[in-house]
C-alpha cells in the first residue's frame, strides 16, 4: 500500500508554525515601536483581535500600558472604560479617575490622541489632532510685553 499523506495534519502543522512566526515578527515590531495588526502586517489592513494575558502590562506605567494596548487594537479608538478593562486584565491595576486624568495629560503632551470626547487613540492615527491649549497667565503676560514693545 502506498504512503498516504494526511493533508489535514500537514495543514494544521503548517498553520501552527505560521502563527508562531507571525507572533515573533509582531513581537519584534512592537519592540521597535512599530504598530502591527494581529497578522503581523501593517495597521489598517485588518482589525486585530487583542490577546491580553495576565501579565501583558506587568510593571508598566498607566500611559505606557494604554499606548501598548492601543497599538494592539489596530487603529480602533477605545473608550476610557475599554482601556481600563484591558489594562486591568493585563496586570496594570488602576482606577477610572487615575486613567482618565493620565490620558488627558498624555493628550496635552501629544502622546495620545482624542478624536472624540472619552475616546482615545494613537497620534499617528489622527494627524492634526492636537489639544487646544488653554492660555495661561504666563501667555497673557508675554502678550502684554509684546504689545508694549511695539
pTM: 0.57
For 129-150, the pLDDT digits (tens) are: 777 665 555 555 555 555 555 5
Cell of 84: 481600563
In a domain? residue 88: yes
Indicate the number of domains in the chain. Answer: 1
In a domain? residue 147: no
For 73-98, the pLDDT digits (tens) are: 878 899 999 999 999 999 999 999 99
Range of the domain at 135: 7-141
3-state secondary structure of 64: helix
Question: Residue 116 gets which letter from DSSP?
Answer: E
Query: Quick check: 100 and 80 in contact, CB under 8 A?
Result: yes
Amino acid at each position: 500500500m502506498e504512503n498516504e499523506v494526511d493533508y489535514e495534519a500537514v495543514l494544521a502543522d503548517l498553520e501552527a508554525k505560521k502563527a508562531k512566526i507571525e507572533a515573533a515578527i509582531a513581537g519584534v515590531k512592537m519592540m521597535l515601536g512599530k504598530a502591527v495588526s494581529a497578522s503581523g502586517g501593517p495597521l489598517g489592513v485588518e482589525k486585530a483581535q487583542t490577546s491580553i494575558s495576565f501579565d501583558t502590562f506587568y510593571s508598566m506605567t498607566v500611559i505606557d500600558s494604554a499606548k501598548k494596548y492601543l497599538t494592539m487594537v489596530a487603529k480602533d479608538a477605545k473608550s476610557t472604560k475599554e482601556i481600563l478593562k484591558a489594562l486591568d486584565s493585563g496586570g496594570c491595576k488602576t482606577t477610572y479617575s487615575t486613567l482618565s486624568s493620565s490620558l488627558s495629560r498624555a493628550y496635552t503632551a501629544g502622546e495620545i490622541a482624542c478624536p472624540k470626547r472619552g475616546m482615545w487613540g494613537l497620534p499617528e492615527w489622527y494627524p492634526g489632532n492636537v489639544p487646544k491649549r488653554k492660555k495661561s497667565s504666563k501667555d497673557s503676560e508675554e502678550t502684554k510685553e509684546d504689545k508694549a514693545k511695539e
